[in-house]
Structure 1
Amino acid sequence: MPPVGRLEKFDMTTQTLAPVAAGTRSSERPVAIALAAMLGLGLLFMAGFSPAIAFHNAAHDFRHTQNFPCH
């Protein structure tokens, strides 16, 4: 304990480092978006023109739920 009447000085110098993000780099983001869009459109195209009527109907119903004109 410090003597009575005497102030003790606390030096609070701590350094905090910003955490590094574990996501994609900003240069990789456009490539990831383009790849996801191509994959999604490819799946929609294949399901829309599929000979299996269940796939076609599912894609058709999905287009209607998204307000996408299909007729």
Structure 2
Amino acid sequence: MSTQQTTFPIQSSATATSRLAQIGLAAFLGLFVVGIAGFSQIEAIHNAAHDVRHSLAFPCH
């Protein structure tokens, strides 16, 4: 007995508008996190973000 399998190509349902919204929200979240850590009055948070920037070779001053 033989069985036949039918496969269908999977198409992405993300539209250009959806992708643009995702990119925009990701950018906003990133800027929000960097802004909170960069301007935090809590010294431990600011210093941790500062050390991470240095470890990633990102110039910060």
**Deviation at residue 66 of structure 1 after TM alignment:** 1.9
The alignment of Structure 1 onto Structure 2 pairs a total of residues equal to 57
Q: Larger Cα Rg: Structure 1 or Structure 2? A: 1
Structure 1 vs Structure 2: percent identity of aligned residues?
A: 46
Q: Normalised by the size of structure 2, how large is the TM-score?
A: 0.72
Specify which of 19, 23, 39 is matched with residue 10 of structure 2.
Answer: 19
The structure with more helix, counted as a fraction of residues: 2
Deviations 1:9-66 (A, max 9, x none): xxxx875322344xx6032112101111111111111111101011001110111122
Match of 2:38 in 1: 48
Q: How does 1:1-71 map to 2 (within 5 A)?
A: 15-21=6-12, 25-27=14-16, 28-71=18-61
TM-score using structure 1 length? 0.64
Please tell me the root mean square deviation across aligned C-alpha atoms, in Å: 2.2
Unaligned 5+ segments in structure 2 are none
Please identify runs of 4+ aligned residues in structure 1 that moved more than 2 A. Answer: 13-16
